[in-house]
Amino acid sequence: GVRITVLRGTISSVVARPTVYALSLAVYCTAWTYYGSVGRAAAGGPAFLAIYLGPTLAMALAWLVLRKMVRIAREQRLTSIADFIASRHGHSRALAALVSSVALVGVVPYVALQLKAIAHGVGLLAGVAAGEAVIAAAAAVLLAAFTIAFGTRTLDARERHEGLVAAVAVESVFKLLAFVAVGAFVTWGLFDGPGEIAARVAADAVLAARLLPAAGAGGFDTAGWFALLLLAGLSVLLLPRQFQVAVVENVDERHLKRASWLFPAYLLAINLFVLPIAWGGLLVLGPQADADGFVLALPLQAGQPALALLAYLGGLSAATGMVVVEAIAVGTMVSNDLVLPALLRRGAVADAALAPRLLRVRRVAIVALLALGWLYLQLAGESRSLVSIGLVSFAAVAQFAPALLLGLYWQGGTKAGALAGLAVGAALWAALLLAPALAPAWAGWA
């Protein structure tokens, strides 16, 4: 008892530091950042930066919005983004249930992205292309077990997880160091600095047209850039895992001041070497190579298996941190906003049995989320890039923005309007993004 109390006190004192809080926000940087940004940079040059400029602008310009969200959540003891949105519209249970349902379905592609990155990385390290479905399934089982053991031991009315925040902060530092190590090796080990990489790309007419906007015939995609900027800026507030670490796990609103500059600085640091790795990979491995795998393939190609292993562990860390926090956040919403109201309506559960029942529900929800992620990967993710998979989830949670932001600042909003707006937005997302992603699988069954 004494040892556990001391350990909890130590973890709480660590989490109470603003730097730890700011680093925990870097759970935003998942396998998408680690592998997918390189793949997108190899396909379109600097256009990938919109995914990170969006959150940078959101933290720099809208941290006051986040502070208001933290205050409201603390005052009303809100434990999820579903609770928060419902609280701004009369504590509507129907709205909370709808937000929870959209969140559950919406983050499935993002979970699939992490499983794909883990499995593909193992394939690269092992030098085999087959069996990734089995590896992804094993990863899903292990991640589900780890999340259940780590995040569903007890039921806390505050829904805070100090140990989780500390672990995510450490994970953020590790993945940054691993990615920078690969970037430095590519930039100064395989080439003579970023100047040489840029000069060789500019000298190649095909690569220059593909990677340098000024040299391309199609010009700069302003509309696409703005759309990515907006989606990314909203996602840093609306993804369930981001709401969990930024709002629910916040212990002192003054920590937001440091996060408003340290988190953008982190995003800058982890993206410094994206272009050198992407362009270096195209020069060394060729334009037909799998750009999502350059972070691992370049060290392997250069005979540096230890560096490749370090890079893989960094990517595994990024994927694991995302899945654990996301699964805990979604499991909380499923239990509190979908299952608990039904149990209370039935009145069939005694108070003593309620907590164990909800813990079981959360565990089942975590397993279901990982299983759905694996299924989505098999149906829609095998042939798609990591970025394209992740954008489906970004667009899903963007549907929360009107109900949340208008609920914060507009007194004229109604529960019916929020329900209708979210329902229509979710339906359009499912029809225009989710269904087309699954269409090849449906066509195969037909």
Dump pLDDT digits (tens) for 4-26.
Answer: 454 455 555 666 789 999 999 99
Within its chain, how far is the Cα of 196 from the centroid? 33
d(CA 233, CA 50): 9
Cα dist from 147 to 153, 164, 327, 340, 401, whole Å: 10, 10, 7, 21, 28
Structure pTM? Answer: 0.91
Report which of 296, 280, 271 is spatially closest to residue 195, judged by C-alpha positions.
Answer: 280
Please state the length of the chain.
Answer: 446
CB atoms within 10 A of CB 60: 12
DSSP state for residue 36 in the 8-state scheme: I
Asked if residues 161 and 241 have their Cβ atoms less than 8 Å apart, the reply is no
Dump pLDDT digits (tens) for 97-128.
Answer: 999 999 999 999 999 999 999 999 999 998 87
* Residue 203 pLDDT level (bands cut at 50, 70, 90): very high
Mean pLDDT of the chain: 89
pLDDT at 371 exceeding the cut of 90:
yes
d(CA 266, CA 226): 22
Average pLDDT over residues 40-44: 89
pLDDT of residue 130: 67
